[in-house]
Amino acid sequence: MSSTRFLPFTCMIAAIACAMLAATTGSTRAQAGRTMAIEDQPGFIPDARDEQLPAAYQRQAVFYRTNEPAGTIIVDTADRYLYLIQGNNRALRYGIGVGREGFQWQGLLSISRKAEWPDWTPPPEMIQRQPYLPRFMAGGPGNPMGARALYLGATIYRIHGTNQPQTIGSAVSSGCFRLVNDDVIDLYGRIPVGTKVVVRQRPTL
């Protein structure tokens, strides 16, 4: 039997596969562009299922072309990723939550301090927006700062964990960058104080 009779069916399968890939890519892009209307939840403790991120935001080694030296952190606020540069055009990529509209920024800083299970003192501007927040909260699983914090220069901004893993991939914070606790613990163990941090707002091409 001639194989040409099966050509239309083969083409149909290929077309379906391409459509599924396009839909998945589009869905990821749409998620990366979302702003979540969600407030901080001090005291909430997520379970293990909550910490399971979509594949696009799971920690993974990726190809990443840059002139920055190994050990540099690059934060891509447009695509919701943090990259730890490994050298030879490779990086570890982490999914993050970023500042919502009006709270995004860019610049060059360095890690000035590291803390495990940090305490949380919401700044006055945050309390004004969310009056129900505690004025101080000791570190722990229900703390919105999560398991680790990396302080950025002399600013109020930090790279930190979160007790709201569902916000990864979204614009939701007041300018800090949040990771799920497993990821921020991994990052914390890989970098020293003094690490260079480049924050960018432009989309990845």
Same domain? 65 vs 128: yes
- Predicted confidence band of residue 10 (pLDDT cuts 50, 70, 90): very low
Same domain? 63 vs 124: yes
115 in any annotated domain: yes
11 is catalytic: no
Same domain? 131 vs 68: yes
41 in any annotated domain: no
45 in any annotated domain: no
129 in any annotated domain: yes
Per the structure, the complete domain to which residue 70 belongs is given by 55-200
Same domain? 120 vs 72: yes
176 is catalytic: yes
Same domain? 27 vs 67: no
Same domain? 184 vs 92: yes
The two structure tokens encoding residue 91: 């990086």
40 in any annotated domain: no
Same domain? 23 vs 63: no
190 in any annotated domain: yes
Please state, in angstroms and rounded to a whole number, the distance separating the CA atoms of residues 134 and 63.
Answer: 42
The predicted pLDDT at position 42 comes to: 60
Active-site residue, selected from the candidate residues 80, 93, 158, 160 = 160
Q: Nearest 5 degrees, angle CA 194-CA 183-CA 149?
A: 45
Active-site residue, selected from the candidate residues 150, 176, 184, 199 = 176
By DSSP bridging, strand 148-152 and strand 81-87 are: unpaired
The predicted pLDDT at position 14 comes to: 39
By CB neighbour count within 10 A (0-12 exposed, 13-18 middle, 19+ buried), where does 106 fall? Answer: exposed
Other CB atoms within 10 Å distance of the CB of residue 134: 14
CATH code for the domain of 133: 2.40.440.10
Same domain? 196 vs 118: yes
Please state, in angstroms and rounded to a whole number, the distance separating the CA atoms of residues 16 and 74.
Answer: 36
This prediction has a pTM of: 0.77
42 in any annotated domain: no
Same domain? 17 vs 112: no
Least confident of 20-24, 35-39, 117-121: 20-24
In this predicted model, what pLDDT tens digit does every residue of 30-73 receive, in sequence order? 344 555 445 666 656 777 777 789 999 999 999 999 999 999 99
Same domain? 21 vs 120: no
Please tell me the total count of domains within the chain.
2
Cα 92 from chain centre: 12
Same domain? 112 vs 23: no
In this predicted model, what pLDDT tens digit does every residue of 123-180 receive, in sequence order? 787 778 778 877 888 888 888 999 999 999 999 999 999 999 999 999 988 889 999 9
